[in-house]
Amino acid sequence: MYKKQFSAKTIPLAFFLVAFISYGLLIPWTGFYWDDWPFAWITKFLGPAAFIPAFRGFRPFLGPIFFVTTSLIPLNPTLWQIFALVIRFAAGLSAWFALNQVWPNHKRQTLAAAFLMLVFPGYSQTWVALTHINQEWIPFIFYLLSIGLSIRAIRNADKSLLSTILALIFLVIGLFPTEYFFGMEPLRFLFIWIVIAESTKGFWPRVTQTLKRSWPYLLIWLADAAWLAYYYKSGAYISYGIAASQRLPSIKDAVIAVGDVLWKAGLYTWFQILVLSFQSISAPTTLLSLALIVICFALLIFYFSKLELPPSPFSPFPFGRGVGGEGDTFAISAILIGLIGILLGRIPSFAAGLPLTLQSSYDRFMISMMLGGSLFVVGLVEFLIRHERVKLFAFAFLIALGIGQQFFNANIFRRDWQRQQDIYWQVAWRIPALKPDTAILTDFVPIDYETDLSFTAPINWIYAPDVKPPDLPYAMIYVNKRLGGSTLSDLEPDTVIQLPYRTLTFHGNTSQSIAIYAPQNGCLRVFDPSFDDAETYNKFPDSLKSLVPFSDPSRIITSAPEPSLPNPPFASEPNHTWCYFYEKAELARQSRDWNQIAQLGREAKQQGFSSQDPFEWLPFIEADAHTGDLNFAKQLTQQAWNEQPKIRAGLCQLWKRVQADGPNEAQSFASNLLNTLGCGQ
C-alpha cells in the first residue's frame, strides 16, 4: 500500500515542517497580544520572581512556570513566537506518543490524529504566546505525556514503575496549574480500558483491572478537585471578571450546549476556513490561505503515500461486541472517545459560564477539546471511508485545511500587531509625557486582541520607566466596561478610579484624566473641551462623547521630549505619514502654536499625505485661519463640510472661535463664512 521511501524516522521532521508552515511563516510580523503585555511588563519592571505573588490570587501554580520561562527567554516578541512554535511542535509529538501507546497497531490513524491536533483549526490563540504557552500549552504537554506514560506502564512491565512515577508527576504538572484539563481526566480511564480489553475478557474483569491501573491517577484527580473547590470558596481566589454560575443549567440549555460544542469542535471547525474564505474570497489573505491549502494538500499526499507504516489489523470491538462480529475497532473507539473527549473538555469553561465562540479569544477553551475533536474526525473518516487511498486523501485534506486556517489566523494577528504599533507611536507623538496618576479614558480601542488592561502595560512602559511598586502611575480605562464596577463607580467629577493590576494598583480619579478616541480608520485623538469637542463630536455615540468633559489635556506635559519606545518589545518608529503630522499638529494646537501647525500642514501636503477622516482637518483649518491663509482654510472647510455631515457642528464651532479671538481680518472673514455655512450665530 505504501512505497518504502520515507521511514518512520522522518515523522518528527514532518511534524516540524507542518508546525512551521502553520505557525512560523509570519513570526517576524507578529508580537505581543492580550495578557502578553501585562506579563511582559511584570517581567521587565518587577522581575520574573514577581509572578509568584502575581498569581497567588489566580491559578497560583502557574507562577513557577512563568518564572522559569521568563527567566530564560528575553522580552522579544519574535523570540516568544519562536518559542510558541517549538511548544506547538512538542505538543504534536506528545500527542503522537500518547496515542501510539493506546493504539500501537494503528499507527496511520494515530499519526493522522496527532497531525490534526497539531493544526487544530478551532484554536486560534497560539500567537498570544507569552500568555497561552505558559498558561495552557506547557501544562498540556505534560498532561499528554502523562497519558502516554501511564499506558506505557501497562504495556511495558520492565519499565512500569518508572513510567508510573513519571506519569503521576506529569499529571500533577498538567492538572494543578490550570483547570483547563480537569475535565479530560476520565479519558485516561477509557484509554486504559482499551488496553486492558486486549487481554481481558468479560465486562467486570475489565472494570476491575482498569480501576486497579487507574486508582493512582484517580487520587490525584480527586486531590485537584478538592483543591479547586477549596480555593475558589476560600476567599483567596481573585477572578478578573467572570464568576462561576450558581444556577444549574436546564435540560434545554444542556442539550443546546452539547449540540453547540459537538458541532463546533467535532465538525464545523475543520471546514471553518472555507466559510471564512467565501466571506472575503478576493482578499489577499484569503487567496494566500487557499493557495497554501492546495500546496500542502499535494505535499501531504506525496509524503503519506510514501511513508513506511504497517497496515492496521482487524480486531474484536473492545467494549464487548464488534460491528458485524468482527471489524476494525479503531473507528468506533475513536468516534466514541472523541465525542466524550469533546464534552469532557468543555466542562470547565461551561461550568464557569464562559462562551465557546470561534475566531475570538474564547476559542482558547478548544485546547481541552482538540484531542477529542481530532480523534472524532479520524474515527469518522475511518468509519465512513473504506478505500485506503481515499482515506489518505481525506486526512491530507483535513490537515491542509487546518494549516490554511492557522495561516489565516496568523494574518489576523499580523494586522493586529501593526495596528498596535500605529497606536503606540501615535500616542508617543501626541503625548510627550504625562503627569503621574493620570487615567486614559476611552470607550474602546478597535483592536481584536487587546483590552484596557493590555494597553495599561505599554502605556506604563512608555511613560513610567522608573515605576515604584505598589503604585501604578497610569491606567487605560474602557469606561463602557468598567463603569458601575469597583474600578469606576460612576462618571462624575472627582470619582475615584482604582484598578488592581496584579501586585500593583492604580489610584486616580475622573478629574485627573484624559479621554482619547481611536477610530477604526483614522488617527488617535485626545479630546479637548477648550476646542468645543463636546459639540464637535455631538453626533457620536453617547459612550464616547460623554467622556469629553472629563478630558484634561493639561495632564499632558507638552514641553517634554518625545518618549523613546524601546525596540523590542515595540517596533521601530515607522515612516512619518499623515498621522505623524496630525498628532504633532494636535500637540501644537494644545499650545496654540498656529504657525507650527500650518508648517506641519504644508509638509504633509508636500509629501502627498492627506487625512483619512475629515475631522483630522480641523487643527489645520484653524491654523490657516490664524496665520492668514484664509482662502485655503475656507477651501478645506467646504471640502470637509461636503465629505462628512457629522463634522458640520465642529466646523461651526471652529469658525466661531476664530470670529471671537482670531486676527482682525480672520474675524470678519469668519463672520461671512458662518453665514454662508448657515451656522447659528
Residue 236 — very low, low, confident or very high, per pLDDT cuts 50/70/90? Answer: low
Given this model, what pLDDT does residue 243 score? 41
Tell me how far CA of residue 247 lies from CA of 62, 243, 253, 350, 568, in angstroms: 29, 12, 11, 12, 46
pLDDT tops 60 at residue 2: no
Q: Per mean pLDDT, which range of 172-181, 227-236, 615-624, 640-649 is the poorest?
A: 227-236
| Residue 563: DSSP 8-state | P
The overall average pLDDT reported for the chain is 91
Tell me how far CA of residue 621 lies from CA of 313, 506, 580, in angstroms: 80, 38, 17
221-236: average pLDDT: 82
Given this model, what pLDDT does residue 4 score? 57
pTM for this model (two decimals):
0.91
Beta-carbon count within 10 A of 9 CB: 8
Residue 525 — very low, low, confident or very high, per pLDDT cuts 50/70/90? Answer: very high
Annotate 495-529 with DSSP letters as a single string.
-EEEEEETTEEEEEETTSEEEEE--SSS--EE--G
Tell me how far CA of residue 1 lies from CA of 15, 305, 312, in angstroms: 22, 8, 11
632-659: average pLDDT: 92
Tell me how far CA of residue 225 lies from CA of 39, 181, 359, 390, in angstroms: 27, 11, 30, 44
Residue type, 171: L
Tell me how far CA of residue 672 lies from CA of 298, 626, 656, 675, 677, in angstroms: 71, 16, 11, 5, 9
Helices (H) and strands (E) in the chain, counts: 27, 7
% of the chain surpassing 70 pLDDT: 94
Return the exposure string of 130-139: e unless at least 16 CB atoms fall within 10 Å of the residue's CB, then b: bbbbbbbbbb
Tell me how far CA of residue 674 lies from CA of 538, 632, 653, 677, in angstroms: 19, 16, 9, 5
pLDDT digits (tens, 9 = 90+) for 15-63: 999 999 999 999 999 999 999 999 999 999 999 999 999 998 788 999 9
% of the chain surpassing 90 pLDDT: 75
Given this model, what pLDDT does residue 249 score? 67
Tell me how far CA of residue 198 lies from CA of 113, 209, 500, 590, in angstroms: 21, 12, 55, 79
Closest alpha carbon to 15 in 99, 63, 87: 87
The cell numbers describing 407, all together, are 495561516
Given this model, what pLDDT does residue 437 score? 95
The cell numbers describing 37, all together, are 503585555
The cell numbers describing 355, all together, are 462562551
pLDDT tops 50 at residue 318: no
Given this model, what pLDDT does residue 326 score? 33
pLDDT digits (tens, 9 = 90+) for 544-558: 989 999 999 999 999
Given this model, what pLDDT does residue 254 score? 81
Angle between helices 186-197 and 203-233 (to 10 degrees): 170
Given this model, what pLDDT does residue 612 score? 85
121 neighbors 398 (Cβ within 8 angstroms): no
pLDDT digits (tens, 9 = 90+) for 96-110: 999 999 999 999 999
**Alpha helix (H) residue ranges in 368-507:** 370-384, 388-430, 452-463, 479-482
Per the model's pLDDT, the better-predicted residue between 230 and 52 turns out to be 52
626-649: average pLDDT: 91
The cell numbers describing 185, all together, are 481526566
pLDDT digits (tens, 9 = 90+) for 50-72: 999 999 878 899 999 999 999 99
Residue 241 — very low, low, confident or very high, per pLDDT cuts 50/70/90? Answer: very low
The domain made up of 575-681 is a member of CATH 1.25.40: yes
Closest alpha carbon to 678 in 622, 638, 623: 638
Euclidean distance between CA atoms 91 and 148, whole angstroms: 12
27 neighbors 81 (Cβ within 8 angstroms): yes
Residue 245 — very low, low, confident or very high, per pLDDT cuts 50/70/90? Answer: very low
Euclidean distance between CA atoms 152 and 163, whole angstroms: 7
pLDDT tops 50 at residue 130: yes
Residue 314 — very low, low, confident or very high, per pLDDT cuts 50/70/90? Answer: very low
For the chain, the domains span: 8-238+251-415, 433-558, 575-681
Residue 596 burial (C-beta neighbours within 10 Å; 0-12, 13-18, 19+): middle
Euclidean distance between CA atoms 353 and 247, whole angstroms: 10
Residue 159 — very low, low, confident or very high, per pLDDT cuts 50/70/90? Answer: confident
Top mean-pLDDT range of 9-18, 308-317, 668-677:
9-18
Given this model, what pLDDT does residue 626 score? 94
Euclidean distance between CA atoms 576 and 74, whole angstroms: 29
> C-alpha angle 260/263/268, rounded to 5°?
130
Which strands sit side by side in the sheet containing 513-517, from one edge to the other?
474-478, 438-442, 513-517, 525-526
173-188: average pLDDT: 94
Can you list the positions of beta strands (E) in 120-273?
none
Rounded to a whole number of angstroms, the distance between the first and last alpha carbons of the chain is 88
